[in-house]
Every structure is written in structure tokens, then in C-alpha cells.
């Protein structure tokens, strides 16, 4: 599954936002006016960038992302002509040559300057926040289910 988010060089204010993931099902929540609102439960991420388009090379700016597992055998190692570190775990640059630049060896140290520990901690934080949100939706759904089954029930006293 892949999605492209495009930006025209003439209209740089156009930005697409969305969620790329797998639909798990439907449930309902109540808004601030106590109206029932149907919602879709989506399992989001991890997403990977599969393609980057630039105005210099392609005439427009775009990023294509994909959701789901990537077979590591389909990934290539590339040489960057002008690598630039942007942030803690992102290195950008333009491809320096055609085809793969090398191979990946088991047990070798990764030297891109990415902080693997910080990336892992950030990923775990995001996953826990997502799971907490899912638990809230599940609890609301169970509470609504109990309330619906008890509507009209008379209790003696």
C-alpha cells in the first residue's frame, strides 16, 4: 500500500495530510453535544518513504510513502554525493552513482550518525500512546455496549 503527497511548484501552500494504515473496524463515540459519532479504528504505521520527487529533477515536489513491512532483500545501499545530517536520525543527499553502492554485513557497525537508541525510544513512546488511545476507544465501546443493553431494564428496590 502506498500513497503520494504532491505539492505543485506554483502552489506551495497545498499540503495533503492523512493517515496511512490498515482499517481494523468501526466503533462509535459521543461528541461534546452527546451525539453518537461513528469512527473508524485504524492501525497506523510504521510508514517508510519509498520515493522523493524534487522540482530540479522532476518538475514538482512529492513524497511517496508506504505502509507495512518491507522485505530487506529488496533494499539497496546507495552512495550519497552530498550527505547532510538533518535531525537526529535522518541523512539526506542526492544519489551519487547508479546502482547499489555496497552490501550490508551482519555484525557491522552502522555509521550514519543516526541515534538508534533515541529512535527506538521515540518509536516505543509513539506505540504506547497509540495503544492507550486504542484502549480508550475499546473502553468507551464496552461502556456504550453495557448502557445499550441496560436501556429499558427496570430494577426493583
137 Cβ contact partners less than 8 Å away, ≥ 6 residues apart: 27, 29, 39, 41
CA 125, chain centre distance (Å)? 14
Q: What is the pLDDT along the chain (157 residues), one digit of tens a residue?
A: 444 444 444 555 566 677 777 888 899 988 888 899 998 888 887 777 778 888 888 888 888 877 777 676 776 677 777 777 776 666 777 776 665 556 666 666 666 666 777 778 888 888 888 888 888 888 888 888 888 887 766 665 5
Which pLDDT value is given to residue 4?
A: 46
Report the predicted TM-score, pTM, of the whole model to 2 decimal places.
0.33
Task: State how beta strands 91-92 and 84-85 pair.
Answer: antiparallel
Report d(CA 11, CA 111) in Å as an integer.
38
* E strand or H helix at 144: helix 116-150
pLDDT at 2: 47
Amino acid at each position: 500500500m502506498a500513497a503520494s503527497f504532491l505539492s505543485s511548484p506554483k502552489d506551495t501552500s497545498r499540503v495533503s495530510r492523512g493517515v496511512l494504515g490498515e482499517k481494523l473496524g468501526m466503533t462509535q463515540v459521543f461528541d461534546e453535544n452527546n451525539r453518537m459519532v461513528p469512527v473508524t479504528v485504524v492501525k497506523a504505521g510504521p510508514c517508510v518513504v519509498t520515493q522523493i520527487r524534487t522540482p530540479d529533477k522532476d518538475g514538482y515536489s512529492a513524497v511517496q510513502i508506504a505502509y507495512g513491512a518491507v522485505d530487506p532483500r529488496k533494499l539497496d545501499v546507495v552512495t550519497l554525493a552530498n550527505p547532510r545530517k538533518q535531525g537526529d536520525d535522518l541523512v539526506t543527499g542526492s544519489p551519487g552513482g547508479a546502482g547499489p553502492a555496497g552490501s550490508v554485513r551482519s555484525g557491522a557497525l552502522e555509521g550514519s550518525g543516526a541515534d538508534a537508541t533515541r529512535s527506538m525510544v521515540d518509536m516505543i513512546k509513539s506505540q504506547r500512546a497509540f495503544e492507550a488511545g486504542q484502549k480508550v476507544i475499546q473502553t468507551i465501546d464496552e461502556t456504550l455496549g453495557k448502557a445499550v443493553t441496560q436501556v429499558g431494564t427496570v430494577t426493583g428496590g
